[in-house]
Amino acid sequence: MAQVLEFKLPDLGEGLTEAEIVRWLVNVGDVVAIDQPVVEVETAKAMVEVPCPYGGVVTARFGEEGTELPVGSPLLTVAVGGTAESAESAAASVSAEAAAAESSEYSGNVLVGYGTAGPAARRRRVRHESPAGRAPAQAPAPAPVLAPAASAPASVPAPAVADGPVPVISPLVRKLARDKGLDLREVRGSGPDGLILRADVESALAAAVTVAAAPAPAARAATAVGVVAAGERIPLRGIRGAVADKLSRSRTEIPDATCWVDADATALMAARAAMNAAGGPKVSLLALLARICTHALARHPELNSTVDMAAREIVRLPSVHLGFAAQTERGLVVPVVRDAGTRTTESLTAEFARLTESARQGTLTPGDLTGGTFTLNNYGVFGVDGSTPIINHPEAAMLGVGRIIPKPWVHEGELAVRQVVQLSLTFDHRVCDGGTAGGFLRYVADCVEHPAVLLRTL
């Protein structure tokens, strides 16, 4: 007889509390091996394939693609230790005891890189009862997505009827309604058998806002011209939500200031061309700028720091972990090059290439996106000259680099056309004053204009 074990969304690390189901990699009825990836989820930091620690037959999946689930909520159930036929019958009688049972077919490797652990924390399951029975004490788990009718288990619990508990299964839907003060008994569900979905709650909230904003009948004629339809609402979640939170926190907590300077990059571009013409691996402009940044930070360590306001201390960091802004189809991400200060130009070029490709493919891990101490933002790739960067909290500074274009420039006392770039530095005014920030930026500009300056530090 097969045991049906429940696999829950594991703790993906880095303080993440929820993830969105992007793509299921298995169907109900599929046979899965231990540690086989079963679902692709998107967290606020990265796209992650989640492997299942059980081997057996998938009997149920929890959540449609696009559903956001909190850590610890069920992902799927697996029938372990039986045949496919026994798995189907076991799926119809999933119980809390079976779901929590431990098995010898458990690897412990929930996610490579996040350590090993035993089964996810046990979560009390609540059985649906008839209206005459006792109402559930807490919100039940998300509804399983079962196989088609021809192969689905015979007894699937139906959502509560209208005169019983409110037909809501997702705890996220309940929380959204509770936070917004919406009575779920007044919401009509669009799901199977009237199940209330997140979209139903969001539609009800949007309708309430529209009604509240509508003018009184007597005032409608006077205000008709100024009335606009409710705009499209796009949830701030996943990477977009994480970026919004981080930028808002930066602006709220960090008293930032920005200084900028134009620099003649003709010599830097010529030096790069000479390096690449000499043979061997090509070096990127970003890698050269990174080398300049790390040398400048060695001279001005105040900018490679963070502020601990609870202890009222500035923490100067021993290593430079250099973040760089990368625009992807999923939004802006900031991969981190570890120990950038100890890398060669070729090593920096290779690591930038690797992380950029991973960002485009959506395969960056949370470890690739955290732990930065200083950020380099090359917004010149968007064809703009300048910007005022927002510091990547909790760092203390960010260097922005605009496009490098031919401009009139006085060179050696003569007007000439030179390759000019604008550099901008946004810094946390708590860690240093303008003199230090200006010294850092001036040193960067000197290295751009005269790359031989770097030879003094080698």
Q: Which positions are annotated as active-site residues?
A: 429
Listed as own residue / partner, the contacts of 413-418 with beta carbons closer than 8 Å and 24 or more positions apart are: 418/264, 418/265, 418/266
Q: Give strand pairing partners of 50.
A: 39
Contact 7, 54 (CB under 8 A): yes
Q: Assign 425 to helix, strand or coil.
A: strand
Q: Cα 175 to chain center, whole Å?
A: 21
Helices (H) and strands (E) in the chain, counts: 10, 20
- Report in angstroms the alpha-carbon separations of 336 from 44, 45, 285, 324, 388: 16, 12, 17, 7, 21
Cβ neighbourhood burial of 134 (10 Å; 0-12, 13-18, 19+): exposed
Burial of 182 (0-12, 13-18, 19+ CB in 10 A): middle
322 and 343 Cβ atoms separated by less than 8 Å: no
Phi/psi class of residue 271: alpha, beta or left (left: φ > 0; alpha: ψ in -120 to 50)? alpha
**How many whole angstroms separate alpha carbon 59 and alpha carbon 86?**
10
Residues comprising the chain, all counted: 458
Q: Are strands 3-8 and 74-80 parallel, antiparallel or unpaired?
A: antiparallel
Q: Which residues contact 312 (CB under 8 A, 6 or more apart)?
A: none
Tokens standing for 435?
A: 């003199």
Which phi and psi (to 5°) does residue 98 adopt?
-70, -40
* Angle between helical axes of 285-299 and 266-277 (0-180°, round to 10): 120
SS3 (DSSP) at 4: strand
Q: Are the C-beta atoms of residues 424 and 265 closer than 8 Å to each other?
A: no
CA gyration radius, the chain: 28
Calculate helix-pair angle for 285-299, 345-361, nearest 10 degrees: 120
